[in-house]
Amino acid sequence: MPNFVHLHNHTEYSLLDGACRIKDLVAQAKELDMPALAITDHGVLYGAVDFYREAKKQGIKPIIGCEVYVAPRSRLDREARLDANQYHLVLLCRDETGYRNLVQMVTRAYLEGFYYKPRVDHELLQQYSEGLIALSACVGGEIPQLILAGRHTEAAELALKYQSWFGRNCFYLEIQNHGMPEEQIVNKTLADISRQTGIPLVATNDVHYIRKKDARVHDVLLCIQTGTAVTNEQRLRFPGSEFYLKSGQEMTELFAAQPDAIANTMAIADCCNFDFQFGTFHLPYYNIPDGSTPEDYLAALSRERFQQKYPSPAPETVERLEYEIRVINEMGFAAYFLIVQDLVNWAKNNGVPVGPGRGSAAGSLVSYVLGITTVDPLAYGLLFERFLNPERVSMPDIDIDFCFEKRDRVIGYIVEKYGADKVAQIITFGTMAARAAIRDVGRALDIPYGEVDRIAKMIPAELGVTIDKALQVSADLVKAFQSDYNTQQIIDTARALEGMPRHASIHAAGVVIGKESLSALLPLQKTPEGHTVTQFTKETVEDIGLLKMDILGLRTLTVIDRAVEIIKHTKKVELDMDRLPLDDPQVYRLLSRGDTIGVFQLESDG
C-alpha cells in the first residue's frame, strides 16, 4: 500500500544541478509504487508540461511546483552586501488558481526580482498565495536559516506568518534527513514549532538524482556548472550520496519518529489537483475595422483580394477559395490568418523584404490572395490539405522569412500592435551533445586536455550522433573504452549527461502572441539583453493553445534587397522580385555548373 509521495524533486531543468531526466524520474517513482510525484525545479517552470505529460502517460498523478528563491528583503533591493544570498521555499499547485499564481510569481521573480537568481519576496508570497501549498524547504529556507542562527522565536513567528498567508493545512514545516548535522538541529526545532503552533510537518528528500549510484554523475554536473574539477576540495558539492529518489520504506524508516510527516505527503498529494488544458486555442484579438466577426471579415477580405488576383476566375477556382474559407472559419483560425496577413503586408509596405513563402502554407489559396505568400498554389497543383486538414485539428504553421537586418522592426511592430505584455520570444535549450558532453566531463574529471580531445574526436562529426551510436561505428572508440580507465570514466559519465539541457537561449524565429497578458498563461523571463522570453519551448507553447509565429531572419533576403538597390542605382533598372521569369536558361546553366554559393538552400555540397 503506497504511503509516501516525493514532493521536492529537481529535474534536468534545474540546469546543471538536477540530474534527473523527467522520463526516468517518473518511471522510477512508478517502480517504487508511488501514486503521485512533484516537480520543483529551482526558480523555473521549464519542465512543467513535459513532466505533466510523462506522469499522466505512466499513470502517476503530477504535482506542478517550483522551489522559488526568496529575497532576504524586497525583491527590488540589489545591494551586494545584503541581497546576494537568497532563501528557498517550495510551492505546489493545488488548482488552476494556484498554477496561475505560481506563474505570476515565477515571472515577476525574473522580470522584477532578478539579482543573481530570480527572487520573490514576502509581498508576492502574500499577494499570490491562493491555490498554493508552501513547504519551508531545505536548510536553505528562511525558517531553517533563522533556526541555525539561534533565532528560534523569530522562526516560530515567521512560520505563523507563512501560515496566515497560505492558510491552515496549506503551509508545512519541511523536514529532511540526508545525514547533515545541521538538518538534525533544524528538524528538532521544527518539531518543537509544530507542537507549539499546530503547523504540520512534512518529510521530503531533496532529490537531485534518481539512484544512489548517480551521486557521482551529479557531482560532475555541479563541476560543469561551476567550472571546477572533482579534484578541487573547495568546490561546490553535496554532502554524501543521499539526494536520490528513495523508496517509501526508506523514507518511513528515516522519519520513524514523525509518522505524521510521512502521512502528510499523501494528504498534500490528495489536495493537489491541477491539470493543464490542451486543445483550447487562445488566439489574440484582431481589431476588425467594421466591427464584424473575424470569420466574416476574413471571408470578405479574401473575396475582395481574390478578385484582384483572378479577375475572371474559373468556377473551380472560386470553389477552392470558398472551401478554404469555410475550413479556416470552422476550425477557428480566421483571426490567425488576419494577424499574419496584417504583419506581412505591414512589412512589405514599410520597406522590410519578405520571402515568397515556405513550407505547406504555400498550398493555401487564401494565403496567396491575402499576400501572405506569393506563390499561386493553383498554378503548381499545391494541396491545401497539406497545410490545414479539417481531420487533424492543430494550429496552422506559417513560417515567414524577413530581411535579417530588419527582423527587429517586425517584432517591434507586433509589440506595438498587441502590447508588450502580450508578446514574447520563445525559449530554446542548448543540450549536451556527444562531443560537448565528453569535453565537459573530461574537464570536470581533471583529465588532461589532449587526452580528452583525442576521445572527443573519435565521435563521428555527424549531426545527431550519440555516444552509443559512436560506439557502434568507431572501432577506435570501442578499443579505447575497453582498454583505458580514463576513457571508460569519461564515456560512462558523458552518457549519463548526454542530451540534458545545458543552457537556455532564444529560439531563432519563434514569437508568441497572447489574447491577454502572457504572464496569466505561461511563465516568462528576461534575457541579459532585456528580451522577454517564454519559459516554455515552442512545442509546449503550441500545446497550451497559444499563437506561435516563426519570424525568420534570412540573410539571403538582405543580400537580395541590397543587390536590387545596387542594380537600381547603377543600371537604372527597377526589378520586381515577384515577376522574375522562372524559366531563364542562364539560371539553370548556373545551377548545372554548381555555381551556387549564396543561393538559398542550394549552396551546400549535400
* Structural domain ending residue among the three candidates 456, 472, 499: 499
CA 90 – CA 40 distance, rounded (Å): 7
Looking at the domain assignment, is residue 461 inside a domain? yes
pLDDT along the chain (606 residues), means of 10: 91 98 98 98 98 98 99 93 94 98 98 96 98 98 98 98 96 98 97 97 98 97 96 94 97 96 98 93 85 92 96 94 96 93 96 90 95 93 90 80 92 94 96 95 95 93 89 90 92 96 94 93 93 95 91 90 90 85 89 86 75
Looking at the domain assignment, is residue 600 inside a domain? no
Looking at the domain assignment, is residue 598 inside a domain? no
pLDDT for position 291: 77
Q: Are residues 39 and 137 in the same domain?
A: yes
User: Distance between the two ends of the chain, CA-based, in angstroms?
Assistant: 59
Q: Are residues 400 and 447 in the same domain?
A: no
CA 336 – CA 298 distance, rounded (Å): 10
Q: Are residues 260 and 178 in the same domain?
A: yes
**What one-character DSSP code corresponds to residue 74?**
-
* Structural domain ending residue among the three candidates 481, 499, 517: 499
Looking at the domain assignment, is residue 172 inside a domain? yes
Q: Are residues 64 and 82 in the same domain?
A: yes
Q: Are residues 513 and 396 in the same domain?
A: yes
CA 98 – CA 268 distance, rounded (Å): 14
CATH of the domain at 123: 3.20.20.140
* Structural domain ending residue among the three candidates 499, 515, 545: 499
Looking at the domain assignment, is residue 547 inside a domain? yes
pLDDT for position 606: 58
Contact of 17 with 222, CB cutoff 8 Å: yes
What phi and psi values does residue 379 have, to the nearest 5 degrees?
-65, -25
Looking at the domain assignment, is residue 5 inside a domain? no
Q: Are residues 77 and 152 in the same domain?
A: yes
CATH of the domain at 483: 1.10.10.1600
DSSP secondary structure string for all residues of 437-506: HHHHHHHHTT--HHHHHHHHTTS---TT--HHHHHHH-HHHHHHHHH-HHHHHHHHHHHHHTTSEEEEEE
Q: Are residues 341 and 454 in the same domain?
A: no
Contact of 130 with 166, CB cutoff 8 Å: no
Q: Are residues 407 and 538 in the same domain?
A: yes
Looking at the domain assignment, is residue 231 inside a domain? no
Q: What pLDDT digit, counting tens, does each position of 56-102 carry?
A: 999 999 999 999 999 999 999 999 889 989 999 999 999 999 999 99
pLDDT for position 393: 72
CA 70 – CA 109 distance, rounded (Å): 9
How many domains, in total, are found in the chain?
A: 4
Q: Are residues 28 and 83 in the same domain?
A: yes
Of the candidates 174, 106, 42, 237, the residue with the CA atom closest to the CA atom of residue 524: 106
Q: Are residues 512 and 478 in the same domain?
A: no
Looking at the domain assignment, is residue 311 inside a domain? yes
Pairing of strands 501-513, 423-431: antiparallel
Write out the residue range of the structural domain in which residue 130 sits. 22-210+245-271
Q: Are residues 314 and 180 in the same domain?
A: no
CA 119 – CA 116 distance, rounded (Å): 9
Q: Are residues 107 and 249 in the same domain?
A: yes
